[in-house]
Chains A and B, each alone.
Chain A
């Protein structure tokens, strides 16, 4: 098992290098001279040229990238153009908020969607099945920002139950996490249902039934674990969607997280800050996928033995 974990963690390194390289490359396409951005429009060409050399902006891209990563690993991602403070400092200040939001949203989604999907599959074509799948269909079709606005309209402006923005009270996380979790919930419920339907038609389910196990214990002891395998994949992939959604939902609810910081920085053309945020998101997503991979190995012995 340890060997398996070690191999998966090791395989992460090239992916992170690749991801950061792509982000670095894309961001380098951005027009405008960073040196000019820092010094302002009135700066003399000489001063700009001097700063360019100092920053190594005339070096080949790969060198610039290596330098950036070398510093980044040591916690230095440069200074924000706007606030002149270190990028890492600003990101770390907001990171816990984003984690709080996404974790709450995901937990909410998983807790509701798993039973929903399972019951829908076990009672295929029942009223419950139809109802929950209709709900899920609306869930995957609902833009999270619009859903967020609707939540604000009803629960904040009309009913006054929850605040519409900020993160001061415990109540303020409710609306953003519901807005973010709903989409997530819908797609997990749909996948759980379809993988459960697939699993309960398998021969080994029939074998388990022929042993004299009741239908509910067959579902619990045999179907569930097998059906969770594709569900976990989707949960992992959904984290990507969730992070993308977090950027938008944070903006809607003025939630002081990394996503909102990123959008503000894009507007302000604060390249080091944007880069820092994106790299954080992308590595975060890769690490979540690693965890998903490990969970796989934990559940499915066939995958585990591929690595040992």
Chain B
């Protein structure tokens, strides 16, 4: 059953049974509840889900930047090239952040320090990890700006003098300045105009090729997933409920939630088709249902769904789903219908 994990080469990122909680005065928020993730070298994994599914928390947990308090990484392991990041000291993490793993944040408007020149903000990470002099770092920072399509001499400007798309390019330049092995992108285009989105996405694609990076693409946009991802994990209430290749997820959809995500996209071929939004809301993460977390919203919910958590069921070596609809006998058959 599990031999596929042992025979494979060491993946860039492997997360097992990650549990992250936010402990607040109003109760414990279960943000991530036993998440498993795996990204092979040079691959891009799309982590897809609604707002509040725990995607950003997962990204921050990899960098060990979950705000603490109130956030606590309760359980699990995060292996980067075979080394468990959760066992690292803070000093060791500082050497990893920005160097081996970088992160691009959702809102470029607020991700840059407003009172520091952008070239300084890029050069800072270079000086820190590449042990260059400040002037060499600055020179390289300008090269990075050129690389992301901003004239190097604009480096002396401050963030407020750039547009949103330009700022996101600067953020990308910071993230890539030390050629990390893993890039975590947290909805990098959500805050941008549609046309700018495409440009930024194309830029990220090109740079991914150039640097041979692995990438964790956090998004709620299936369009971006098709564009850029090799593998897809669908996240719901802090767990991966379905995982597979692009092909598996798009053409052999198994989980009712994944199905719901597709149904809530507009259909270009059949413009008369009605959108079918997923009914209801994400469960309150401080008060999750005892059974399947999706069960209150699921059209196919059975009795067992209310009481027992579903386990992983594999369709192929990679494609799995966490859903009671699929026992091992009928995983080949689609239960959910279009």
Interface residues of A (CB under 8 A from B): 202-204, 206-214, 221-222, 225-226, 229, 299-302, 305
Contacts and interface: CB of A to CB of B under 8 A. Distances in A.
Contacts of B125: 211-212
20 contacts: A204-B111, A204-B112, A207-B111, A207-B113, A207-B171, A208-B113, A209-B63, A210-B175, A211-B128, A211-B174, A212-B96, A212-B129, A213-B94, A214-B91, A229-B115, A300-B115, A301-B114, A301-B115, A301-B160, A305-B160
B97 A212 contact: yes
B99 to A, nearest CB: 6
B23 to A, nearest CB: 14
B102 interface: yes
A204 B128 CA distance: 17
A98 to B, nearest CB: 34
B83 to A, nearest CB: 16
Nearest to A199: B113
Given A203-B107, A301-B158, A305-B161, A209 B114 contact: no
A214 B94 CA distance: 6
A203 B158 contact: no
Given A210-B102, A210-B105, A212-B97, 14 more contacts: A206-B60, A207-B105, A207-B112, A208-B124, A210-B63, A210-B65, A210-B97, A212-B94, A212-B98, A213-B128, A214-B94, A221-B116, A222-B116, A229-B115
Interface residues of B, number: 33
A105 B128 CA distance: 40
Contact of A206 (B65, B94, B175): B65
B71 to A, nearest CB: 12
Nearest to A304: B158
B150 to A, nearest CB: 17
The binding surface of chain B is classed by DSSP as: helix
A226 B115 contact: yes
Given A301-B160, A305-B160, A211 B110 contact: no
A203 B65 CA distance: 12
Contacts of B274: none
Nearest to B184: A210
The 10 lowest CB-CB distance pairs between A and B, nearest first, are A212-B98, A212-B97, A203-B110, A211-B98, A301-B158, A211-B125, A204-B113, A210-B103, A212-B94, A207-B111
A202 B110 contact: yes
B124 A209 contact: no
Nearest to B128: A212
Contacts of B171: 207
Contacts of A203: 105, 107, 110-111
A299 B115 CA distance: 7
Contacts of A206: 60, 65, 105, 111
Nearest to B103: A210
Interface of B: 60, 63, 65, 90-91, 93-99, 102-103, 105, 107, 110-116, 124-125, 128-129, 158, 160-161, 171, 174-175
B39 to A, nearest CB: 18
A208 B175 CA distance: 10
A204 B111 CA distance: 4
B113 A212 contact: no
B96 A204 contact: no
Nearest to A224: B115
Contacts of A222: 113, 116
Nearest to A209: B65
Given A211-B174, A226-B115, A302 B160 contact: yes
A301 B120 CA distance: 14
Contacts of A208: 113, 124
Of the listed residues A209, A221, A226, the one surrounded by the most CB atoms of chain B closer than 10 A to its CB is A209
Given A221-B124, A301-B160, A226 B114 contact: yes
Of the listed residues A202, A211, A221, A305, the one surrounded by the most CB atoms of chain B closer than 10 A to its CB is A211
B181 to A, nearest CB: 14
A128 B72 CA distance: 24
B125 to A, nearest CB: 4
B273 to A, nearest CB: 39
A77 B257 CA distance: 82
Contacts of A204: 110-114
A211 B114 contact: no
A207 B174 contact: yes
Nearest to B91: A214
A243 to B, nearest CB: 30
B97 A211 contact: yes
A302 B158 contact: yes
Contacts of B160: 301-302, 305
Nearest to B106: A203
Contacts of B124: 208, 211, 213, 221
